[in-house]
Structure 1
Amino acid sequence: MPATHIRRWKSVALATATVLVGLTAPALTATPAAATTTAYDSTYYKNAIGKTGTSLKSSLHTIISPQTKLSYSAVWGALKVTDQDPNNSNNVKLLYSGISRSKSLNGGDSGDWNREHVWAKSHGDFGTATGPGTDLHHLRPEDVQVNSIRGNKDFDNGGSSFTNSGGSLTDSNSFEPRDAVKGDVARMILYMAVRYEGDDSWADLEPNDSVSNGSAPYHGRLSVLKQWNDEDPPDAFEERRNQLIYTNYQGNRNPFIDHPEWVEAIW
């Protein structure tokens, strides 16, 4: 049986909007992610506990870099396990659209789901090569057409709806995922920025505040990703996924799912 990911406590609060007569209600704001404690702090994360800033980022890079690497074809089978719909074991849950779709409909045709690189593979030009191009921590199932609509856009707030959007939005230069996975997206992007630091023949991936990164090894918008991390804390689906990747496939973890407060501690 896979190890159980234990949290002693986690407190995440969203400030509520107050409506007063004659006044406009203030926008919801996120409370920064509260400190967490996990069963891995005394073992896997032992050398990172208590650190902040570049020291924490460097320690986490050292911790999560050793991993079993999958081939791109092996990703198909892995996603059918890591992203299984908790309400239907025959289906996977698509990331941006939220649709539950048959595991057997993986492919490249309309109505199929394919392998979405959340850190767009052109941002650093790593393609689908074994390594960042096959890292399960940022690969998710998505509808073929929705995947195409997202393309290699940076992440930001705003835009218009589209077919099978599930609440996601897009405009000419950015993509906003549906509310339920905003934090998931942020933590996947920031995992990639810590895992790939340019010391293993791949580009040094880093977040920034731009939405016009093109083929540069950067992904934005950092300020929005930090907000999403606070607003949408890790849920059971995301935690189960992290655990399965650790125990069944790659042997490494996304530290920002275990410790979302480390986002603010580093950036």
Structure 2
Amino acid sequence: MSQQTPDAPAGSVLPPVGSGKRVRVHHLAAAKAAGERLTMLTAYDAPTARLFDEAGIDLLLVGDSIGDNMLAHENTLPVTLEEMLPPARAVARSAKRAMVVVDLPFGSYEGGAQQAYSAAVRVMKETGAHAVKFEGGARVAEQVRVITDAGIPVVGHLGFTPQSENILGGKRVQGRGDDAAERLCEDAVALQEAGVAAVVLEMVPAPVAARVTEILTVPTIGIGAGPSCDGQVLVWLDMAGMGDWSPRFAKQFGQVGAALRQAAQAYAAEVRTGAFPAPEQSYQQ
């Protein structure tokens, strides 16, 4: 009897780590049908992508959240398509199993189907990624349809959509109230009918996210949307404790920031005292 790894329970429909097989669109649908939860984290560079891939994370999102997490912007709005390409390329080159999804940043798809198609094709050709993601419901259904008709998988994004935070009045929970919940469900169905492979639900009341998950045949991936979604996603810095603050919906599963700070302090102390480099770190003639 073969030993089951933690990331590949008996009967898993997802490729096991080390199998040489990639998580693909059909695996997402199969996971939802089987009731198997999907895991997703952001990644912006090669080292973290490799580590998360080896850990068995199913999808890696090269998010425009790179703007406020890595590039010191206040939000995601300043991020350009040009800035998304190098990190996407690094993540796609480093992940052997995970499906790599890349955000189309603000201003690269809202102008219509042709603009969105051109941006999506550029991402796929220049990075080696496996899907693109962008925000909006029925208003971007035509963009989704054109891109998927071209053979490019699309992941949708509903609820709080960071690129629209100015018109939404800031970082606010979306889908509260019967009318708002109904509109969210209608947008989710419109995205599914247009051909999305999955839908991210961000900052949505848990009962509303559960309802969307129930009515869709494609998987939902929640972030601040409760436990009933078909999968979960977090910004990796929030997940790993890399900052002094994290949003309410995030849980810190480690304290990487504290460990990194301690390592830097220990390095600095040894350099100042002359303890580093020692003979074992030095070359002799």
User: Normalization by structure 1: what TM-score?
Assistant: 0.30
- The structure with the larger Rg is 2
**Larger relative CO (CA 8 A, sep 6+): 1 or 2?**
1
User: Normalization by structure 2: what TM-score?
Assistant: 0.29
